[in-house]
Structure 1
């Protein structure tokens, strides 16, 4: 595999391409044209061909792409050829729903730990996972073979930075923050901020322009 970095916009589209390719594979399709794949993925053929060109040389002019080969290549670039371990901190409505979401395991993301600071739920099980105190994150991660790949923060805003610090100290290598506050992590830790209220405000902007 080439070791160059992909453009952020291309990275954002790769999971959509993969989802579309898996859907085609499940239907028994073996070949797909750039136009056909682009239509399913909600983009245009020129953009799709440009994105895939970053991954290598695939497809045959006038024929299309081999679906299984492209599934493998996109999965490889997304780091999905191995399972990823995930912990979730904050077992409110959002965190509890994420623990029980079956789509994670179907895509190779295994939720292995659930943490909170509320004594009322610590020691109880949520979808088969024992809820532990957030102070246990470090020991849990270090006792887990291979450590924890991804941490999801689903706490209230005031707690988010402290939780992120605990994750970093535990060796968690990537964090998704759902709390409505910006957090800081070391440069070597991958961080994604997902604030649903911000997304709603962006949608509101586009609605007023219609």
Structure 2
């Protein structure tokens, strides 16, 4: 029996997609998984666009760039779309992730159950609070941040999440980069600027709330 074709084989390199499209792919991916869990097998561009608040034309253009064309009267096969979009987003492989900072936000991130499904496995967390060290939250062991450099060499993670105060975020990021981590999700309220070749996504929750307030005022 011939091997089943890999649905990601025909996917162009992610660099072909502009940042806004990648952001939409992430939304599609999340909502498609939710629909699949509800037992839905197909969806059309109008339905998917309505869910993520974009036009059907944008959905069709995005998905056609994956080599996917919906069938008239049927739409798109949801499990196939999940495989294809997951390939673009890197969710087709397992990413090893560490978390630095187990305050309120870090604690919530450790308890979030959605990472594994998307291909992200939290392998360790680090903190300086002795009352937290050696505890386990969400199945993840909390280690002493003073031992982080040695543990990173042992664990060889791919990505890191930073949830520490702004004043120490850059020092933590530099330690992570020195350990070979090439992607950082930064929740500290400061913008990290790191050497070329290091991918950084800065998430400032307060700024996002400001954007939301602005949008509400201008409805």
TM-score (norm 2): 0.86
Question: Per the alignment, do residues 73 and 207 of structure 1 end up closer, same or farther by CA in structure 2, a change over 3 Å counting?
Answer: same
* Contact 1:30–1:66, Cα closer than 8 Å, also in 2: yes
Superposed CA deviations along residues 169-194 of structure 1, whole A, max 9, x for unmatched, are: 11112111111111121221110000
Partner residue of 1:98? 109
Partner residue of 2:145? 134
User: Equivalences for 1:186-197 in 2 at 5 Å?
Assistant: 186-197=195-206
Superposed CA deviations along residues 82-111 of structure 1, whole A, max 9, x for unmatched, are: 222111111111111111211222332211
In the alignment, the residues of structure 2 paired with residue 35 and residue 75 of structure 1 have an alpha-carbon distance, to the nearest angstrom, of: 21
User: Equivalences for 1:74-113 in 2 at 5 Å?
Assistant: 74-113=85-124
Is 1:2 matched with 2:18?
Answer: no
Question: Per the alignment, do residues 91 and 27 of structure 1 end up closer, same or farther by CA in structure 2, a change over 3 Å counting?
Answer: closer
| Structure 2 alignment gaps of length 5 or more | 1-10
Instruction: Select which of 28, 49, 54 maps to 2:60.
Output: 49
Equivalent residue pairs, number = 208
In the alignment, the residues of structure 2 paired with residue 200 and residue 183 of structure 1 have an alpha-carbon distance, to the nearest angstrom, of: 20
Question: Per the alignment, do residues 199 and 34 of structure 1 end up closer, same or farther by CA in structure 2, a change over 3 Å counting?
Answer: same
Question: Per the alignment, do residues 132 and 202 of structure 1 end up closer, same or farther by CA in structure 2, a change over 3 Å counting?
Answer: same
Is 1:180 matched with 2:182?
Answer: no
**Aligned-residue offset at 1:41:** 2.6
In the alignment, the residues of structure 2 paired with residue 134 and residue 61 of structure 1 have an alpha-carbon distance, to the nearest angstrom, of: 55
* Contact 1:152–1:176, Cα closer than 8 Å, also in 2: yes
* Contact 1:14–1:74, Cα closer than 8 Å, also in 2: yes
**Aligned-residue offset at 1:67:** 1.8
TM-score (norm 1): 0.89
In the alignment, the residues of structure 2 paired with residue 160 and residue 129 of structure 1 have an alpha-carbon distance, to the nearest angstrom, of: 22
Question: Per the alignment, do residues 26 and 186 of structure 1 end up closer, same or farther by CA in structure 2, a change over 3 Å counting?
Answer: same
Partner residue of 2:32? 21
| Structure 1 alignment gaps of length 5 or more | none
Instruction: Select which of 172, 176, 199 maps to 1:163.
Output: 172
Superposed CA deviations along residues 124-177 of structure 1, whole A, max 9, x for unmatched, are: 333443322224333222222xx2122111111111001101111111121111
